[in-house]
Structure 1
């Protein structure tokens, strides 16, 4: 792992993010266009990225796949336990506890996780990440909605179809292709690959544009967000790093949970908060602060993993 090469790649990602911020500020795109781009990434390009990664015939058996999935479940259980500790530790108001719980549990996997993981470990790591993120895709529209809605006591009913979102369906399709060593026709495979390559630039543009409407002057007075971000972006990933290293996982299996846990708040926090009556302003501020601080913390995590 060449640390300086990776840092340069990550800097490129953040330059594209700031470009997204700029084009939104200059009204080159508006909120409607940004939402449509976000939908395009979540529903089309990320699923293609997942399928594309699984078209590569990587020597990975059922034991390794179950190991990745088990590791992910263990990390999410740990993060869920932290949702009972961190809000009390930093003195979160009762009406905002649900949003903070959500921000602790769910990182920015789709828009930042995949691009950053790929820039560090290459395309092979997307396969690992796709399996690792299965619990995320299943939980964010079930447990995530519950956590956000608990602040206003809404009764939310979950539908089983919410679990089978495009990313989960892509993993299922990808696993079928991988398990049965199916070779797609050239036209199909190249189409999937071309669309998959749109994920990184579109994702970073969407994040940057999403941050453009936040009133920065109001954020600096919320000290709780900075304490939360320190825990989320550095403390928790380092704890997970220490544990996975003790267990003896290989570089990619050790790195994926550390990097994913150290990602900023999931952009979905704002959308779900608006839809289910959570504090969407707080969610927006959490996304903004954690994303900006991740410019510093992600290179620190990469340095830790490279040594």
Structure 2
């Protein structure tokens, strides 16, 4: 693992993020544009990146696929248990409990997880990350909605059809192509690769633009968020690394759970809080501070992985 090259790639990602912040502050793009770009990423480019990774990897075994999926389920079970423990330790107010639970369980997978995994391990690792994130896609629109709406007096209507989202569909199609060992025509592959390649720059621009709307003064006064970020960005991924390092996994299979768990708060926290009555201000602050601190913690995780 070329540590200096990886750090350079991560710096590039965050420079693009700061570009997004700048162009939003300068009103080159507005909230409407940012929202449309988010929709484009979630519904088109990120699924294409998943398909691209699955079409380019042909020697991944069934045992590896089942292994990474089982590993993911175990990690999410542990994170779910943490939703009962961490808020008590932090003495979170009752009306903010649901948002904190969401922030504990769900990391920024589509906008940062895939681009960072791609930057660290290469496109092959996006295949692993796609399988690993199956529980995320299934849970974020079910359990995630339950969390953010848990303190909302109005009865929330859950839309389980949202579980069948573009990310899940891309993984299913990719697995079918993989299992059939069918390789699409080069024209199709190049098209999918090109569209999927838009995910990384667009994602970082959208994150930067969304952070431009956060009231930074309020964030600096919320000490509880900083403690949470230490747990989310350092303690949890390091605990996972220590737990799996002696199981004989290959570097990518061991690294993907660590990197994904150590990602900042999922951008869905803000979107779902707005829609289902959660504390969207707290969610925005959580996304902002965790994203900013991840500039330091992601290289730390990469360094720890390189030492294993």
- Show the counterpart of 1:188: 188
Question: Following the alignment from structure 2 to structure 1, what is the Cα–Cα distance between the partners of residues 210 and 154?
Answer: 26
Q: In structure 2, what is the equivalent of residue 206 of structure 1?
A: 206
Aligned twin of 1:244: 244
Q: Deviations over 1:234-283 (max 9, x none)?
A: 00000000011022211111100000000000011100000000000000
Shift of 1:160: 3.2
Name the counterpart of 1:42.
42
TM superposition shift of 1:158: 2.7
Question: How far apart are the structure 2 equivalents of 1:139 and 1:47?
Answer: 18
Change (3 A) 1:244 1:154: farther
SS in structure 2 at match of 1:46: helix
1:231 paired with 2:260, answer: no
Question: Mind listing any 5+ residue stretches in structure 2 that lack a counterpart?
Answer: none
Residues 57 and 127 in structure 2, CA contact (< 8 A), matched pair in contact too: no
Work out whether 1:275 is the aligned partner of 2:278. no
* Cα drift, residue 171 of structure 1: 0.1
CA distance in structure 2 between the partners assigned to 1:11 and 1:193 by the alignment: 23
Q: Distance in 1 between matches of 2:6 and 2:120?
A: 6
Is 1:258 the counterpart of 2:258? The answer is: yes
Query: Within 1, Cα distance between the matches of 2:47 and 2:40?
Result: 10
Residues in 1 aligned to 2:54 and 2:140: alpha-carbon distance in whole angstroms: 23
Q: Distance in 2 between matches of 1:119 and 1:41?
A: 18
Q: Which residue of 2 aligns with 1:128?
A: 128
The 5-angstrom pairing of residues 5-84 of structure 1 reads 5-84=5-84
Q: How does 1:101-140 map to 2 (within 5 A)?
A: 101-140=101-140
Contact 2:142 2:160 in 1 (8 A): no
Alignment check: 8 A CA contact 1:54 1:178 kept: yes
Q: CA deviation at 1:152?
A: 1.3
Instruction: Tell me the equivalent position of 1:221.
Output: 221
Paired position in structure 2 for 1:88: 88
Aligned counterparts of 1:289 and 1:44: Cα–Cα separation in 2? 28
Return the alpha-carbon distance in structure 2 between the equivalents of residues 153 and 244 of structure 1.
41
- Deviation of 1:191 after TM superposition, in Å, equals 1.1
Hey, what's the Cα distance between the residues in 2 that align with 1:186 and 1:13?
A: 29
| Inter-partner Cα distance in structure 1 for 2:160 and 2:15 | 39
What CA distance in whole angstroms lies between the structure 2 residues aligned with 1:102 and 1:252? 27
**Deviation string, structure 1 residues 81-122 (Cα, Å, up to 9, x no partner):** 000001010110000000000000000000000010011101
| Partners of 1:146 and 1:42 in 2: CA distance | 21
Cα RMSD (Å): 0.8
1:154 CA drift (Å): 3.6
Shifted more, 183-192 versus 287-296: the winner is: 183-192
Gaps of 5+ in 1: none
Query: TM-score normalised to the size of structure 2?
Result: 0.98
Q: Which stretch shows the higher mean deviation, 179-188 or 68-77?
A: 179-188
Per-residue CA deviations over 1:10-54 (Å, capped at 9, x if unaligned) read: 000000000000000000000000000001001000000000111
> Any residues of structure 2 matched to 1:157-172 within 5 Å, and which?
157-172=157-172
Partner Cα separation in structure 1 for residue 217 and residue 119 of structure 2: 33
Distance 1:171 1:3 in 2: 30
* Distance in 2 between residues matched to 1:129 and 1:123, nearest whole Å: 10
Normalised to the residue count of structure 1, the TM-score between the two structures is: 0.99
147-156 or 238-247, which moves further after superposition? 147-156
